[in-house]
Amino acid sequence: MIFAGIDGGGTKTKGALMNDRFEVLNVVNVGGSNFQSIGTKRAKEVFEELLNKLVRPLNLKISDIDFVYFGIAGADRPRDFEIIDGFLKELNLKAYGFHNDGWIALKSGTIDGPGILVTLGTGSVAFGMNKKGEWKRLGGFWGLLGDWLGGYSLASRAIAVAQRGKDERDFSTVLYDKIKSIFNVSDLLDLIEYEYYDFQGKNDIREKAVDILKVLFESAEEFDGIALEIVWEAAKEILITVDILYKSLFEPGEPFKLVLEGSVLKARYKSLTKMLENALKSRYMVELIYPEHDPVVGALMLAAENLGLKDVENFIIEGYLKYLRRKG
């Protein structure tokens, strides 16, 4: 028996193939598969490409997979579920299931399922599910609809406040010199040339986002007031999100698990982590979880569950981690 889990995101899609001895047979990455941005035809092609890449090295066919579980970005509304089910049927799989990609990340972190997930990486999204199977997704759309929390947004904000401090439109901040060093410019105004005069597309401020985030959180830990303000605004946005999902899905005082996912949260920047932990634990009975494995593991768990394999989540995690160690 073999089964597959797929994490279909907006910028990348990961698939893992596993057998009933919980050995990972293959892991493959391809491009984004959110049908809302690339269309249903292309989304179907991406999933088909990934499935073929998973099975071909093993001399198998897609139809040999006993069950495939998809976590899919863009599965937000009932209409989205109808559209997704329509093009997944065209893959002629033996059996499959799917849900919003937030569900597989939540499952991966909590194992038993119920809880709240907040993802903060390049962008951000939140997802919650209770013991009744009732779920809610919050955010993860775009700035026009109120979403500003994300790694790139935070990095952009850091650049903006650094320049405002230099112009005396705000208090000065140590961020100015640190961000100058990242771009190797003498003045942040030179970023106009860096970004806008770059007709050959050699420079992209987004590629520096990780470095900017590091100095942002580093500056907050040095008690730079402006950096602390940005970090606190990010923490407040997460706290508000958690509160909305908690009130929507859980009873007052009910304990819950909170999975903190995504590159920014997994980096465990002390300033942000401490703000969140202090605020959350003063208000809720909450267990904070920083997963050590990919959301695709949650998709593998759900595929196994659909095949009737019980209490195998820890075997799946260990099998996946063993594969990663083997691959270095």
- 183-225 pLDDT tens trace: 999 999 988 877 676 655 566 777 899 999 999 999 999 999 9
pLDDT (0 to 100) of residue 62: 96
Section 6-30 average pLDDT: 95
| Per-residue pLDDT, 139 | 81
Residue 22 · residue 312 · CB < 8 Å: yes
Tens of pLDDT, residues 277-313? 999 999 999 999 998 889 999 999 999 999 999 999 9
Q: Which residues contact 88 (CB under 8 A, 6 or more apart)?
A: 44, 47, 70, 96, 98
pLDDT of residue 140: 72
Distance CA 68, CA 316 (A): 15
* pLDDT, position 35: 93
Determine the average pLDDT of the residues in 55-81.
94
Where does the pLDDT of residue 141 fall: very low under 50, low under 70, confident under 90, or very high at 90 and above?
A: low
Per-residue pLDDT of 95-112, as tens digits, reads 999 999 999 999 999 998
Neighbours of 327 (CB within 10 A): 8
Whether the CA torsion 88, 92, 93, 94 is positive or negative: it is: positive
pLDDT number for residue 145: 66
Provide DSSP, 48-90: HHHHHHHHGGGT--GGG-SEEEEEETT--SHHHHHHHHHHHHT
Residue 242 has pLDDT above 90, yes or no: yes
Query: What domains does the chain contain, in order, with CATH numbers?
Result: 2-112+293-327 (3.30.420.40)
The pLDDT of residue 148 is above 90: no
